[in-house]
A and B are shown apart, each in its own frame.
Chain A
């Protein structure tokens, strides 16, 4: 297999087969918040940026700092600190470059730091022992997978508003079941990568 086809397969695997929300089940709480379609796209892009940057930074912290000094036991604290810092930095940049995005996102990106998909992908990368390139791709494609998931869920929410749902299932329960049906569709990607 050539390098390019290996990289493409890895990307398809990260976005579809091992989708962060529907297969790895990371960041489900954050993805499940009811959002409008436009908001979900902007939020997804923001998460994608934070996830890519933090995957790269956490890779650097792991390979250059924690592994040579045999301090892997500090991984959780170090990675959390990196994720919080990256999120704060992204918030600063976005508010300067795209102020209208910040208005849509209630002027705060800090919930992204609490999204367990961001920290989760960083830990998955460290455990798999990826090289720099694969860590970067894993972060980027994980973010794209998250974007895909929350856009799909936003579409489902808009349809659910007009659906006749039994009283106890209104709100969260029916949303979780719908997410399950989407996850069922994602099993179809298993044969690809």
Chain B
């Protein structure tokens, strides 16, 4: 696998290591299927907008970058909203305003900035890696919050009781995300340590 792609999934995971795209990761992760849907939608918009940002990067002046990236991502967020409302209306109503808010996701804007300053291969490798990393991270948060907060997994009953109702609340979202970030840091640090000793 391309080095940049694997970096986006593990050591440079956008959600757990870089803290990008936190808002939807807290808001729509009360059940795993919505979290997965949001992750996939964001990843698709990410790849498309990075491609356009790479092309536009040659012509946009430095002062207008943020404005340009927002307009590019707003166009693709509109497309994503059409697709979700047309084919997955239940998911779209569950995600609510967080589909339009893909337009100003910190993840997309920072990656568009990266894409405009790098080669096409690097930009695409980065976008795909970050996209997959974001899907994995979102689903993980969703799974933990759904099991603890509702006692179900992907909508099917798993436990006969709800272990921690707090986890389904906004406050629980912050705490679960923080704990997962810490665990992710510990795991990737251990893995990096092993690689260093092998080398």
A110–B113 CA distance with the chains assembled, in angstroms: 14
Q: A169–B22 contact, CB under 8 A? A: no
Task: Give the shortest distance, in Å, between B149 (CB) and chain A (any CB).
Answer: 14
Q: A177–B19 contact, CB under 8 A? A: no
- Residue with the greatest number of chain A CB neighbours at <10 A, chosen from B23, B78, B104: B104
| Residues of chain A with a CB closer than 8 A to B171's CB | 22, 180-181, 183-184, 186-187
A119–B78 CA distance with the chains assembled, in angstroms: 14
Which chain A residues in 96-126 approach chain B with CB under 8 Å?
110-111, 113-116, 118-120, 123-124
Q: Does A81 contact B (CB under 8 A)?
A: yes
A186–B169 CA distance with the chains assembled, in angstroms: 11
Residue on B nearest A88 in the bound complex, by CB = B67
Which chain B residues in 148-199 approach chain A with CB under 8 Å?
166, 169-175, 177-179, 181-183, 185-186, 189
| Residues of chain A with a CB closer than 8 A to B177's CB | 176, 180
Q: A172–B181 contact, CB under 8 A? A: yes
**Chain A interface main SS type:** helix
| Residues of chain B with a CB closer than 8 A to A76's CB | 74, 77-78, 81, 100, 103
Q: Does A12 contact B (CB under 8 A)?
A: no
Q: Could you list which residues of chain B lie within 8 angstroms of chain A, going by C-beta atoms?
A: 19-23, 26-27, 66-67, 70-71, 74-75, 77-78, 81-82, 97, 100-101, 103-106, 109, 166, 169-175, 177-179, 181-183, 185-186, 189
Q: Could you list which residues of chain A lie within 8 angstroms of chain B, going by C-beta atoms?
A: 22-30, 32, 73-77, 79-81, 83-84, 88, 110-111, 113-116, 118-120, 123-124, 127, 166-169, 172-181, 183-184, 186-187
